């Protein structure tokens, strides 16, 4: 399907269920919507991955470590909307994530 935003589809041309195109989220940098941003403390993080599984925008970045397996490596600020779920779900005793006002 053509990606031109100006192309208008009729109802008959749209896919069943109204799904026009999947997987487009990566193209839109929704991080500009934030009023607060999560700040990750690498030294406190125990890599439980609770933040990763809780983030609705898949904005917790991970990588594979030979010894530790999947580890958190940071936050994708291009797509994080600043909802604060990750900071809320990080175990309180660990507190490796907290929210701060977004700097303009």
Q: Does 84 bind ligand SF4 (CB under 6 A)?
A: yes
* Residues 5-64 interacting with ligand SF4 (rule: CB under 6 A): 38, 40, 45-51, 55, 57, 59-60
**Whole-number Å distance between alpha carbons of 99 and 40:** 9
How many Cβ atoms sit within 10 Å of the Cβ of residue 97? Answer: 24
Q: What is the DSSP string of 30-50?
A: GGGG-SEEEEE-TTT-----H
Question: Judged by CB, which is closer to ligand SF4: 14, or 69?
Answer: 69
Chain positions contacting ligand SF4, by CB under 6 A: 38, 40, 45-51, 55, 57, 59-60, 72, 75, 80-86, 90, 94, 96-97
């Amino acid at each position: 399907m053509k990606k031109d935003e100006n192309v208008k589809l009729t109802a008959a041309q749209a896919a069943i269920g109204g799904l026009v195109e999947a997987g487009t989220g990566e193209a839109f940098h929704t991080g500009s919507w934030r009023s607060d941003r999560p700040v990750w403390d690498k030294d406190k993080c125990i890599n439980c991955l609770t933040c990763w599984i809780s983030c609705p925008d898949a904005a917790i970045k991970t990588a594979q470590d030979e010894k530790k397996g999947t580890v958190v490596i940071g936050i994708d600020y291009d797509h994080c909307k600043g909802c604060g779920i990750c900071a809320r779900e990080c175990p309180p005793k660990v507190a490796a994530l907290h929210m701060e006002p977004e700097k303009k």
